[in-house]
Chain A
Amino acid sequence: MSMARKVLTSQLRNVARSRWILAYGLLLLGVTELLLRFGGSGERALLSLLNIVLLLLPLVSVVFGTLYIHNAREFIELLLAQPVGRGSLYAGLFGGLALPLAGTFVLGVGAPLLLQGGSEPGYLAHCLLLLGAGVLLTLVFTAFALCVAVRLDDRAWALGAALLVWLFCSLVYDGVILLLTTLFGDYPLEGPLLVMIFLNPVDLARVLLLLSFDISALLGYTGAVYERFFHGGLGASLAVLMLLICAAVPLLLGLRWFRRKDF
């Protein structure tokens, strides 16, 4: 078994037993259950759940991840005093954080959705798409967390930066897009907007999911452009690929810093 897997296994055990993870799982379970019971049909509940997933998942992943790495700093030093390469340790830490977070999401949201969800055609596919997008977002924001925690030694600064990352991706970026569409409303913006959406993982997941729910008509002409793009296999594949790239970039940047870091 490689060093990375050994670190991953122990971190996974440690994170999975954390009360915060349990609370996160129960929160997701409770919200999903409530939406399914009182939010209408399965598809409508899925749509409501979408917004929670897009806000809560990045926030929990980036904040929990940043604080976890900061709290584990002394243990990381102890592990680095063993014959373990920094790359292996970094990979183990990422996996040990991302897997329990993603697993908790899949169980907390997936179990009620699949057990008592709607019977509409395509419901199962939509559920799986939601779960898949949630897992990808967890990977992306856990990678951001590692990046931030490795770079910033001060805990308060790291937490602030983690919140800023979340705020930027979840709210500020959309504000910028809105501003641009207002300022340049007379120009055909579909192309540039598509590019901008591709650069923000939260927007990318949102558009990917919204269009799969067949409500693109609500988005007007833009919706038609996105519908054409994302509903083709190529567009959806590109979106998934881009989400993976969004996870890989901060992850590799964090690895570069981790390898050079003075502990």
Chain B
Amino acid sequence: MMPSRVVLTGVRKRFGRLEVLRGIDQIIEPGRITALVGPNAAGKTTLIKLILGLVRPAPGGTVEVDGIAVNGDPSYRQRIGYMPQAACFPEQLTGREVLDLLTGLRGQRDGLDEELIERFKLTPALDRPVRALSGGTRQKLNAAVAFLFRPSLLILDEPTAGLDPVAAGILKDKVLRAPAQGTSVLLTSHLMSEVEELAQDLIFLLDGSVAFRGTVEALLQQSGESRLERAIGRLLEAAGR
């Protein structure tokens, strides 16, 4: 499968009086790991939800995934794997029933990527109800679900939050290998060390606008800093924060 390309054109979004996104024109390049960073309420989650079709852009703005406009037809989401920030599965279902539901909805039972299920040693936990699973195990299941269908676009919202260091390492290795396996990755994280470790491209959102777009190296070079955290700090200072 070819990695996905996402094109956002003139994307604005307003919730009541609050303008969350103020005209975003960006391309998520295929086969790259792109990090979406920014302070709280910068519009990161809204941007992700726009790509997933959970939120609709204001008239005039468009979102396209592999040339298909996101406009209500859900079939394009067949290409997307999504890991939300918090694992939130029905409490009374077992992990296996959750997987069965999702594979049923995707109509894809063969050729699944079960590497994370194996590496996280999730198999015994899959037969227990979700309510009996620890927060970390739920988060592992959450990660496994995102990779399960070999998506061409992977959207990860704070992927390592709630994971122990070993599991976080396994997940990060998996993310790093994703582009070579035909997957574009868009991730958000508040951990700049994680972004530095994983991302090739960076979109820095500030108050609903893109304050920086480029490679991580370009930002470090531009700011004259050696660490991403400090480089981001410089961007915030420049914006008067």
Residues B84 and A77 in contact, CB atoms below 8 Å apart: yes
Distance in angstroms between the alpha carbons of A63 and B53 in the assembled complex: 29
For A14, list chain B residues within 8 Å (CB): 90-93
Residues A13 and B92 in contact, CB atoms below 8 Å apart: yes
For B100, list chain A residues within 8 Å (CB): 10
Contact with A along B56-82 (1 / 0, CB 8 A): 100000000000000010111110101
Residue picked from B56, B75, B90, most chain A C-beta under 10 Å: B90
Minimum distance in angstroms from B90 CB to a CB of chain A: 4
- Show the binding face of B for A, using Cβ within 8 Å: 15, 49, 52-56, 72, 74-78, 80, 82, 84, 86, 88-93, 97-98, 100-102, 104-106, 129, 155
Question: With an 8 A cutoff between CB atoms, is A78 at the interface?
Answer: yes
Residues A82 and B56 in contact, CB atoms below 8 Å apart: no
Residues B92 and A18 in contact, CB atoms below 8 Å apart: yes
Instruction: Select B92's contact among A1, A6, A17, A85, beta carbons within 8 Å.
Output: A17
Residues A83 and B78 in contact, CB atoms below 8 Å apart: yes
For A17, list chain B residues within 8 Å (CB): 92, 129
Residue picked from A7, A10, A15, A18, most chain B C-beta under 10 Å: A10
Residues B56 and A262 in contact, CB atoms below 8 Å apart: yes
For B88, list chain A residues within 8 Å (CB): 74-75, 77-78
For B56, list chain A residues within 8 Å (CB): 260, 262
Distance in angstroms between the alpha carbons of A153 and B29 in the assembled complex: 34
Question: With an 8 A cutoff between CB atoms, is A84 at the interface?
Answer: yes
Instruction: Select B84's contact among A15, A18, A78, A82, beta carbons within 8 Å.
Output: A78
For B54, list chain A residues within 8 Å (CB): 77, 80-81, 262-263
Instruction: Select B105's contact among A11, A15, A82, beta carbons within 8 Å.
Output: A82
For A91, list chain B residues within 8 Å (CB): none
Distance in angstroms between the alpha carbons of A13 and B90 in the assembled complex: 10
Other A-B pairs beyond A6-B105, A81-B155, 6, CB < 8 Å:
A74-B88, A78-B88, A80-B74, A81-B54, A85-B74, A262-B49
Residues A262 and B93 in contact, CB atoms below 8 Å apart: no
- For A262, the closest partner residue in chain B by CB is B55
Residues A81 and B89 in contact, CB atoms below 8 Å apart: no
- For A75, the closest partner residue in chain B by CB is B88
Residues B49 and A263 in contact, CB atoms below 8 Å apart: yes
- For A72, the closest partner residue in chain B by CB is B90
